[in-house]
Chains A and B, each alone.
Chain A
Amino acid sequence: MTESFTIAPVIDVAQVTQDSRPSEREVVFDIHDLTVSYGRVTAISGVDLQIHRNVITAIIGPSGCGKSTFIRCLNRMNDLVPGARIEGQILYQGSDLYASGVDPVEIRRRIGMVFQKANPFPKSIYDNVAWGPRVLGMRKELDERVEKALRSAALWDEVKDRLKKNALSLSGGQQQRLCIARAIAVEPEVLLLDEPASALDPIATSAIEDLMHQLKREYTLVIVTHNMQQAARVADLTAFFSLEVDETRRSGVLVEYDATSKIFTNPSDKRTEDYVTGRFG
């Protein structure tokens, strides 16, 4: 267990640093000068970032620096927040995510999201996973699809005998894995995870981290975490956001984005170093 945590990222990072040039490793999200504000509060400003296929990208930074805001822009969940304004450009596989003809519903179908607080529907375990496929008209071989999603989320063995039980009867860690199963049951291309393990105990957390390594083969993963060990364990690339404060305003900015090992052992920015060595936040 511990071995796979320490070894796997090192190997991956080696790969990533070799072929992380955009031309060699496919860019999924290409973000230019992204600025998001809620009413008159600017949450993040001027973020430039590229997210690559089949790579785990971690977003770290102190609380309130705009990590959730950033990740919620990637599947247009911020559209639902009244007063949210998004400026700049996000290209998803080359096309503008916020162009006028783009349907946010379709975006969210292709870019799934798992939230900080597990939010299973008050339905049975089976219906939680089957709900998305049913709504999207993927009714063929639903049982197989549900089983596959639950297996991918490393939950199948624990729930296979009680699929008809209410999902709210599961433990917190199981509920969060159920939410992951629910998200992958509709076969998204990207999975966004906003602090998926922040409310979980260490065992459940490590189950979810294991899971992420599995999922990486099929999905592009972006994970927000305020737990630096977690970022170090799971992520290939890490982006460090920080809160920039000047006299009049404060907003989150992207400070540094690099291979995880570089961010944690040899960061180029003083602020990153302070944060990862625990002198800040």
Chain B
Amino acid sequence: MSAVPTTSPLQARRRLRGRLGDLSLHGLTLAAALACLVLVGAIAWKIVALAGPSFDRFGLGFVTARAWDPVKHVFGALPFIYGTAVSSLVALVIATPLAIAIGLYLSELAPRGVRGIVGSLVELLAAIPSVVLGLWGILVLGPFLAHHVEPWLHSTLGFIPLFGDPQQTGQGLFTAAVILTIMIVPIVASISRELFLGVPSDLEEGALALGATRWEMVRGVILPATRSGIAAAVILGLGRAVGEAIAVTQVIGGGTRIGWSLFPPADTLASKIASSYQGAGSGIETSSLLYLAAILLVLGLIANLIAQVIVRRFDPLRGTRE
């Protein structure tokens, strides 16, 4: 057969196939996107519906009510909002500088060989299942914090009300915050490493060519150029901390106390739901737990939205089009 007659139909068929591929790719991605939307909507709908009875009984006052008493059928979310806020914020305060330092080390300072090894170790930390981390928290971290770190903090910084009397058990808000820190650090560290690596090297050279030291270059060019990304990574970490249930439930001790000291036992929204749902004795208690879930869902969505807005709006490397 000569080559000439076969080439043109073959081309046409290939184009057709390509067009079909295009179409099905389009369809598939659209379907996947829609499925996500529908799923989020369905979950939210169900949770809100189930929380209905509790909402009808307690209204928005639920959010600021302090009691949680299944016997008297009085429920309020404030202790758990407090526990969630404090454990996540403490975790963020410890994790953010640590994670940025690790990211900087891995992207700018570490020798090539070390980068790979330390980088994988950090990623490995993220791979520990949270229930395993929680067990370690019960067995090792909690007692260590209770017997060494908390007494030390109390005796040196005890004048700050955050560092009250140490706990004996190692179960408490502070232990939960440290466990959350361990979970957030790898996330924020690996995102910030990517961000730092993404800073164009000609910017770095520009700074160094002016006689800046490495640290001055990092502080003056790399961090400002990546700050919106870092902020988004931190908020992503916050989302993780707010939503984490298992490991927190294992180490936080449980309770409805609200107070200054970081050390006593408490509960977060997530740990309260995880620990109480199975044993919930009444319909109104179950419904109240779902009310907690709805609050958690809203917090998670808000964190995610904020992170996205930050990334879209304030990326300095994208110039001033905005």
Binding site for B on A (CB under 8 A): 75, 77, 80, 82, 105-106, 108-110, 112-113, 115, 117, 119-123, 131-132, 135-136, 165-166, 168-169, 179, 182-183, 186
Contacts and interface: CB of A to CB of B under 8 A. Distances in A.
Given A77-B209, A131-B220, A168-B320, 6 more contacts: A77-B208, A105-B208, A112-B209, A115-B202, A119-B202, A135-B212
A162 to B, nearest CB: 11
B216 A135 contact: yes
29 contacts: A77-B205, A77-B208, A80-B205, A108-B210, A109-B210, A109-B211, A110-B211, A115-B206, A119-B203, A119-B205, A119-B206, A121-B206, A121-B220, A121-B221, A122-B203, A122-B224, A122-B225, A123-B316, A131-B207, A131-B210, A131-B220, A132-B210, A135-B210, A166-B319, A166-B320, A168-B320, A179-B206, A183-B209, A186-B210
B168 interface: no
Interface residues of B, number: 22
Chain B contact residues: over half helix, strand or loop, or mixed?
Answer: helix
A229 B207 CA distance: 31
Interface in B214-256: 216, 220-221, 224-225
B317 interface: yes
Contacts of B210: 108-109, 112, 131-132, 135-136, 182-183, 186
Nearest to A116: B202
A108 B213 CA distance: 10
Interface string B179-217: 000000000000000000000101101111111110010
Give the 4 A-B CB pairs with smallest separation, nearest first: A109-B211, A166-B320, A168-B319, A132-B210
Nearest to B210: A132
A123 B206 CA distance: 13
Contact of A106 (B209, B211, B224, B317): B211
Nearest to B317: A122
B220 A135 contact: yes
Contact of A108 (B112, B203, B211): B211
A92 to B, nearest CB: 14
B112 to A, nearest CB: 7
Contacts of A182: 206, 210
A75 B209 contact: yes
A106 B210 CA distance: 9
Contacts of A122: 203, 224-225, 316-317, 319
Give the one of B211, B212, B221, B225 with max A CB within 10 A.
B211
Contacts of B216: 135
Contacts of A179: 206
A117 B202 contact: yes
Contacts of A168: 319-320
A190 B216 CA distance: 22
A131 B206 CA distance: 11
B225 to A, nearest CB: 5
A136 B208 contact: no
Contacts of B209: 75, 77, 108, 112-113, 115, 183
B60 to A, nearest CB: 43
B87 to A, nearest CB: 35
B23 to A, nearest CB: 39
A82 B112 contact: yes
Contacts of A115: 202, 205-206, 209
A132 B211 contact: yes
Contacts of A120: 206
A123 B320 CA distance: 10
A179 B211 CA distance: 14
Nearest to B206: A119
B113 to A, nearest CB: 11
A110 B209 CA distance: 9
Contacts of B316: 122-123
Interface in B108-149: 112
Given A132-B212, A135-B216, A136-B211, A165 B203 contact: no
Contacts of B200: 119
Interface in B279-322: 316-317, 319-320
B319 A169 contact: yes
Contacts of B213: 105
